[in-house]
A and B are shown apart, each in its own frame.
Chain A
Amino acid sequence: GENVEQHPSTLSVQEGDSAVIKCTYSDSASNYFPWYKQELGKRPQLIIDIRSNVGEKKDQRIAVTLNKTAKHFSLHITETQPEDSAVYFCAATINNAGNMLTFGGGTRLMVKP
């Protein structure tokens, strides 16, 4: 089955700096890679996703890159703000074939004002 590894487990940055979270996956058949932001006690919120037919996707301060050859994808947050502080999870799945997400271990991002 799929295995997703996520690094780092914790990340502390100064407000305004950039934050990068990296994930690797094992199943080359995976073709959908969403990123979720989870605040304490709340549901994971989809913040951005990328499908295997593109290498990069951007939405305002958030971007995701995908390298299918190397089987890794990354989340980039620029101009971080204190409200970006949360736990971020990457995930991978074979979309339209069960849709069962395999999650990374999570990254606790702390943005210091």
Chain B
Amino acid sequence: GAVVSQHPSWVICKSGTSVKIECRSLDFQATTMFWYRQFPKQSLMLMATSNEGSKATYEQGVEKDKFLINHASLTLSTLTVTSAHPEDSSFYICSAPRAGSSGNTIYFGEGSWLTVV
């Protein structure tokens, strides 16, 4: 079954509004989660590292005031796209590492399709 859950799967919003996407680790605690953005026919681009109890670490070129990340608990990270514009339309996906006997394994959420109209 799913190890990392993401919600919503699909969201349509109007330009200028904000949208929140949730990422949950289902049966393990994740002090770190990762947020990616994926354009059609392209690879996953890391946006930021979400750190439980502290500020997120953003990749170069990603606006932290536009893509707000909150990691308020050990099982939940949220990504809020603020003042969304059509160019923000994309597939957003999170991941989290789960510890195992031989090391961590990284699992992905279902992804969220955001369409800004």
Contacts and interface: CB of A to CB of B under 8 A. Distances in A.
B67 interface: no
A45 B111 CA distance: 12
Contacts of B97: 99
A72 interface: no
Contacts of B61: none
Interface in A38-89: 41-46, 49, 51, 89
Contacts of A44: 44, 93, 108
Contacts of A100: 34, 46, 49
Nearest to B110: A43
Given A41-B91, A41-B113, A43-B111, A99 B42 contact: no
Contacts of B106: 34, 46, 93, 99, 101
Interface string B95-111: 10100001111111111
A101 to B, nearest CB: 6
A102 B106 CA distance: 12
Given A41-B91, A51-B103, A103 B44 contact: yes
16 contacts: A34-B105, A41-B111, A43-B108, A43-B110, A43-B111, A44-B44, A46-B105, A93-B106, A98-B32, A99-B34, A99-B97, A99-B106, A101-B34, A103-B43, A103-B44, A106-B42
